[in-house]
A and B are shown apart, each in its own frame.
Chain A
Amino acid sequence: GAGVSQSPSNKVTEKGKDVELRCDPISGHTALYWYRQSLGQGLEFLIYFQGNSAPDKSGLPSDRFSAERTGGSVSTLTIQRTQQEDSAVYLCASSLVGTGFWNTEAFFGQGTRLTVV
């Protein structure tokens, strides 16, 4: 596709259940990011993948959160034993290389709105 694709667009889950959120980056983009946006808050960095390098997991809020990126393309963010405070919009972005390079733009998907009830 032409842009970053995320699925599902909305997810309602019961407290304590596990959820998986999917991100399809733009083809050829080597860098992939996950962010979380809570109501009234800014975007919170979660995790960053760059090519075959070890991911930067420094933003993951707890060990209930994990992410994988298979074949350098599709990424899955998994939240185990969901809590109400996990309710937020989860946004995925990709770029040709990491945004630390001079002129590389980050392109975002439409997000997955997660509601834990």
Chain B
Amino acid sequence: KQEVTQIPAALSVPEGENLVLNCSFTDSAIYNLQWFRQDPGKGLTSLLLIQSSQREQTSGRLNASLDKSSGRSTLYIAASQPGDSATYLCAVSQRAGANSKLTFGKGITLSVRP
């Protein structure tokens, strides 16, 4: 059974700091990995998707890397801003019988202090 772990559960940093959010998964037989952002009381917003054959993806100040063999992904946020404060979730996609589904970590709640 796939398990996705995100540690720590919460993180507080001063504005301007570069930071790394970690995600680990137990079964490396994945199709892709997605990073999402969730604001309080809101749904999930897709940030980046990395295919299993890729090593990294970039979007603006965000860079996500994937090491499938070791079961790890990182989300790098450059020059953090208070507006980056949110919960960040990673999810892996893999086959489930004839279908597929996403398995999520519990998320990292990030607070960026002005």
Q: A33-B102, A91-B44 are contacts. A99–B51 as well, Cβ < 8 Å?
A: no
Distance of A59 Cα from B97 Cα, bound (Å): 13
Distance of A54 Cα from B98 Cα, bound (Å): 10
Contacts across chains A and B counted by CB atoms under 8 Å: 82
Interchain nearest-CB distance for B26 vs A (Å):
14
* Stretch from B14-22, B29-37, B60-68, B69-77 forming part of the interface with A: B29-37
Q: Are A99 and B106 in contact (CB under 8 A)?
A: no
Interface of A is mostly: loop
Q: A45-B101, A53-B99 are contacts. A103–B51 as well, Cβ < 8 Å?
A: yes
Cβ of A105 within 8 Å of any chain B Cβ, yes or no, is: yes
Closest Cβ neighbor of A9 among chain B residues: B41
Distance of A109 Cα from B36 Cα, bound (Å): 13
Q: Are B93 and A100 in contact (CB under 8 A)?
A: yes
Closest Cβ neighbor of A3 among chain B residues: B43
Q: Which B residues, 78 to 114, have Cβ-Cβ distances below 8 Å to chain A? A: 89, 91, 93-107
Q: Are B46 and A106 in contact (CB under 8 A)?
A: yes
